[in-house]
Amino acid sequence: MTARAWHLAFAGPRLLVVEEGPRVRLPEAEELAAVLETDPGSLGNAEVPLPSALGWPCRAYDLPPAFDAPQGFGLLGLRDLYERVPDELFRVAGTALQKVDWLRTHSFCSRCGHATRRHRVHEAMECPACGHLHFPRLAPAVIVLVERGREMLLARSPGFPEGMYSTVAGFVEPGESLEEAVRRELAEEVGVEIEDLRYFGSQPWPFPHSLMIGFTARWARGEVRVDGDEVVDAQWFSPERLPPRLPSGLSIARRLVDDFLKRARDRQ
Ligand SMILES: [Zn+2]
């Protein structure tokens, strides 16, 4: 009988799972060992320990990118995983993939080119030659729902699925506050100015290493004018006239939209 633990093995961006009908689960240590034809404990530096999220150990492993899942197993990207596992596991899988990806891309020092190693204390890769520390990458991005009475401003990026509109979002630039980033993104992408900017909530977004920081704001002035580059269309929508498709429940964008719709309907 093995003590409870989560084993998260990634081939490229995809997680190794055991298929059980519509649901999937993580492999047990013995199943993983059988698949890998080795003891997971002997994977050496391919193994990425994670802080225990739930009171039991969580471990991540880096499989060869071309790894093929055997019969009964599957390899799932994070977005596909979302529908098929409990929320806690989805969160831990996102964290694990970010760590694995960080280790994959920081095995050499970007300053002097020497091979790096795990720092003894810090969550960092250390260069034994020049001493440079490489911390995990995290790219903060702001996301904002702008409202005007019972309408909200949603926009379409060129890469969106057909009919989908979402809240305006963008990466924070060096030297900027979060509030400045929100105002700049709105001015650049949809041409509107806002007031009453309020913090809404945040969400780790492991695609591949963002942190989404959500806000609500009220429209102040400016006609909607899209940049045609990052945003190809933007419109005011009401609870009675919604776009054909809203962002997935996976995202803070959807939480912002649902929160607005609830408030707008209450106000009716
Ligand atoms: Zn170095």
Residue 122 alpha carbon to ligand 1 centre in Å: 17
Residue 37 or residue 103, greater confidence? 103
What is residue 139's three-state secondary structure? strand
Residue 134 alpha carbon to ligand 1 centre in Å: 10
Q: What is the pLDDT of residues 30-51, one digit of tens each?
A: 898 888 876 666 555 567 778 7
Q: What is the pLDDT of residues 117-154, one digit of tens each?
A: 989 888 899 999 999 999 998 999 999 999 999 999 99
Residue 129 alpha carbon to ligand 1 centre in Å: 5
CB atoms under 10 Å from CB of 17, counted, come to 24
Residues 6 or more apart in contact with residue 208 via CB below 8 angstroms = 13, 97, 98, 101
The mean pLDDT of 215-226, rounded to a whole number, is: 97
- pLDDT at site 127: 97
Q: Which residue has the tokens 């945040």?
A: 202
- pLDDT at site 37: 74
Q: How confident is the model at residue 1 (pLDDT cuts 50, 70, 90)?
A: very low
Q: What is the pLDDT of residues 156-209, one digit of tens each?
A: 999 999 999 999 999 999 999 999 999 999 999 999 999 999 999 999 999 889
- pLDDT at site 110: 96
Question: Residue-wise over 46-71: b if at least 16 C-beta within 10 A, else e?
Answer: bbbebeeeeeeebbbbbbeeebebee
Q: Mean pLDDT over all residues of the chain? A: 91
CA distance to 75, 92, 117, 119, per residue, from 103 (Å): 20, 17, 10, 12
- pLDDT at site 8: 93
Residue 127 alpha carbon to ligand 1 centre in Å: 5
Residue 208 alpha carbon to ligand 1 centre in Å: 25
Of the spans 6-20, 97-111, 183-197, which averages the highest pLDDT? 183-197
Q: Is 115 left (phi over 0), alpha (psi -120 to 50) or beta?
A: beta
What's this model's pTM, rounded to 2 decimal places? 0.86
- pLDDT at site 41: 60
Residue 111 alpha carbon to ligand 1 centre in Å: 5
Percent of the chain having pLDDT more than 70? 95
Residue 128 alpha carbon to ligand 1 centre in Å: 7
